[in-house]
């Protein structure tokens, strides 16, 4: 079972809003202090450059839908976005293709298997099961609008930058390192093609996918990106509409079911928020209507999720009353200012 280490931490009920600025700030600091010294987990090294990350890095950012941003620890350290990109590329292709069509094309159900599983694809007749594992993410990247690979890249980079509210750049070293070692993703793309499930060149699509995974972000960036999904598709800092409210909703539903790979059920059980993690150590968790928590710390558990990130998010979900399943008897709060 996922160790969230929240023994004795009071579960606040989910209400319509975050507590005031001061309280959010205080709890973000408390979460950082409480889990800073945790040294369980290991830094990913299957993409060679990722092994250079400092295991001590730990940043927590909370972006509110009202536009406020709380930052504690290493929220300015840039890391490659990796799998977190899947959530936002998915939102962009949903915007293009719509609810029904995209649901058919990439699926929404959990595979119960690791993110890079080939078997998951085989067992499902070559149909990707969801866009948050590599097969479904590669299929989603292939659907990005653009007549050429360059135009598709432009759509991805510009789209993810709109979510972040600033121009995101690629870490070329990460891109080169992953490109040299991503034969498994190339195999997944070929397999999709063999089943008639990839409407683009497999090599070109994996290159685009690898480039999207190499975009550099900070904990604060992913918090703002998540808060855009929490804010009906409008970036709470720039106030630009990035996707429709329906697309934001659909993306969060897919994140709830699949964002933490085969640990998604445990995550929902313990933390109760749609979220997405990546192997470089980022996690973004979204509280619809309220905001998002972006954490960054490179030590990962066996499923590839950041250990400190999981714990800090669990702590903040409980203390800020973010768990979407946590309610209390309505009469018990009558007349109380909450």
Cβ contact 88:140 at 8 Å: no
CA–CA dist 33, 65 (Å, integer): 25
Is 83 catalytic? The answer is yes
Work out whether 135 is an interface residue with ligand GLN (CB under 6 A). no
Work out whether 88 is an interface residue with ligand GLN (CB under 6 A). no
Looking at beta carbons only, is 272 or 278 nearer to ligand GLN? Answer: 278
CA–CA dist 35, 37 (Å, integer): 6
Is 209 catalytic? The answer is yes
Q: Beta strand 69-73 with 216-217: parallel, antiparallel or unpaired?
A: unpaired
Say how far residue 268 (Cα) sits from the centre of its chain: 14
Work out whether 208 is an interface residue with ligand GLN (CB under 6 A). no
CA–CA dist 274, 2 (Å, integer): 16
Cβ contact 63:224 at 8 Å: yes
Work out whether 134 is an interface residue with ligand GLN (CB under 6 A). yes
Work out whether 130 is an interface residue with ligand GLN (CB under 6 A). no
Work out whether 115 is an interface residue with ligand GLN (CB under 6 A). yes
Tokens describing residue 11: 């579960």
Catalytic residue among 279, 284, 286, 307: 279
213-to-64, 71, 313 alpha-carbon distances in Å: 25, 24, 22
Work out whether 185 is an interface residue with ligand GLN (CB under 6 A). yes
Catalytic residue among 24, 206, 224, 261: 261
Query: x/- site string to ligand GLN, residues 264 to 283, per CB under 6 A?
Result: --------------xx----
Looking at beta carbons only, is 185 or 323 nearer to ligand GLN? Answer: 185
Give the active site residues: 83, 86, 209, 261, 279
Contact set with ligand GLN (CB under 6 A): 82-83, 115-116, 134, 178, 185, 213, 278-279, 304
């Amino acid at each position: 079972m996922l160790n969230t280490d929240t023994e004795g931490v009071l579960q606040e009920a989910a209400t319509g809003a975050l507590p005031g600025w001061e309280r959010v700030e205080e709890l973000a600091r408390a979460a950082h202090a409480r889990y800073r010294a945790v040294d369980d987990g290991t830094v990913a090294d299957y993409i060679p450059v990722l092994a250079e990350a400092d295991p001590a890095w730990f940043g927590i950012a909370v972006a509110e839908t009202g536009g406020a941003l709380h930052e504690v620890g290493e929220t300015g350290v840039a890391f490659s976005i990796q799998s977190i990109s899947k959530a936002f590329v998915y939102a962009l292709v949903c915007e293009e293709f719509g609810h029904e069509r995209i649901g058919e094309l990439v699926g929404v159900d959990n595979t119960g298997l690791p993110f890079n599983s080939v078997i998951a694809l085989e067992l499902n007749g070559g149909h990707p099961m969801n866009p948050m594992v590599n097969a479904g993410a590669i299929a989603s990247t292939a659907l990005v609008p653009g007549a050429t690979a360059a135009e598709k890249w432009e759509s991805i980079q510009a789209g993810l930058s709109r979510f972040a509210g600033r121009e995101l750049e690629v870490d070329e070293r990460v891109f080169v390192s992953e490109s040299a070692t991503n034969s498994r993703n190339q195999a997944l793309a070929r397999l999709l093609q063999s089943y008639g499930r990839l409407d683009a060149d497999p090599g070109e699509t994996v290159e685009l996918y690898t480039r999207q995974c190499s975009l550099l972000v900070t904990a604060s960036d992913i918090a703002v990106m998540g808060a855009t999904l929490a804010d009906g598709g409008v970036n709470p800092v720039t106030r630009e509409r990035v996707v429709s409210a329906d697309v934001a909703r659909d993306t969060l539903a897919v994140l709830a079911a699949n964002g933490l790979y085969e640990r998604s059920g445990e995550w929902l059980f313990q933390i109760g928020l749609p979220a997405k993690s990546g192997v470089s150590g980022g996690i973004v968790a979204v509280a619809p209507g309220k905001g998002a928590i972006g954490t960054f710390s490179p030590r990962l558990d066996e499923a590839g999720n950041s250990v400190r990130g999981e714990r800090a998010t669990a702590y903040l979900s409980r203390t800020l009353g973010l768990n979407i399943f946590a309610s209390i008897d309505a009469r018990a709060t009558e007349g109380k200012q909450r």
